[in-house]
């Protein structure tokens, strides 16, 4: 897996985990490498291995999961300077206002709910449309002080990021623009 971090100052840092998997995995002890990327006190990669264990009399050997290691790729301070993060060339997180937003989660919500007849296909337009749609569709299920936080989380955003992106969308997309 290639992890590409693009920073606000224009710098790019790339991390490559390809050396964690052997080139002929089934002929060696490592059959599979499991990578989990998380944002929590920085950017972490958790790597586990599936080691091939010989099984006498069995048609196929068993590969058991072995706990690997945690790699602290970016500190929380460094993450605060990140503009975007790509996983294998696909945009995963992008800074929207003060926070990194989960683009994959927004894409998943768009795939589930977005109305193609809506005029905007931009990230800002989709986020605002989905926010309003989810607030209406889940009105009976979401209530109380966490309602806005939960709706924003479904979009892969914090409340602050949604406030920023909705302000941008408001200034760009007005009702008279599409008439």
Give pLDDT, residue 90: 94
Give pLDDT, residue 23: 44
Q: C-alpha angle with apex 36: 48 to 151, nearest 5 degrees?
A: 155
Give pLDDT, residue 116: 67
**Pair of tokens at residue 172:** 């760009």
Q: What is the pLDDT of residues 23-75, one digit of tens each?
A: 444 445 677 788 899 999 999 999 888 877 766 666 777 777 888 889 999 99
Contact 78, 41 (CB under 8 A): no
pTM: predicted TM-score of the whole model, two decimal places: 0.69
Residues of the chain whose pLDDT is less than 50? 23-27, 177-179
Give pLDDT, residue 118: 64
Give pLDDT, residue 160: 93
Give pLDDT, residue 24: 46
What is the full DSSP assignment across 147-160?
HHHHHHHHTT--HH
Give pLDDT, residue 28: 54
Give pLDDT, residue 26: 43
């Amino acid at each position: 897996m290639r992890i590409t971090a693009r920073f606000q100052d224009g710098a790019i840092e790339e991390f490559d985990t390809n050396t964690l998997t052997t080139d002929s995995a089934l002929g060696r002890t490592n059959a599979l490498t499991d990578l989990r990327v998380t944002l929590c006190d920085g950017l972490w990669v958790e790597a586990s291995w599936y080691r091939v264990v010989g099984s006498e009399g069995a048609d196929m050997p068993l590969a058991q999961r072995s706990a690997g290691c945690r790699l602290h790729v970016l500190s929380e301070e460094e993450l605060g300077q990140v503009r975007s993060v790509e996983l294998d060339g696909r945009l995963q997180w992008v800074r929207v206002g003060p926070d990194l937003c989960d683009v994959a989660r927004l894409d998943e919500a768009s795939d589930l709910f977005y109305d193609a007849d809506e005029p905007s296909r931009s990230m800002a337009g989709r986020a605002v449309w989905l926010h309003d749609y989810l607030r209406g569709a889940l009105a009976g299920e979401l209530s109380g002080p966490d309602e806005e936080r939960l709706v924003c989380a479904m979009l892969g955003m914090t409340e602050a990021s949604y406030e920023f992106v909705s302000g941008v969308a408001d200034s760009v997309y007005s009702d008279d623009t599409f008439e």
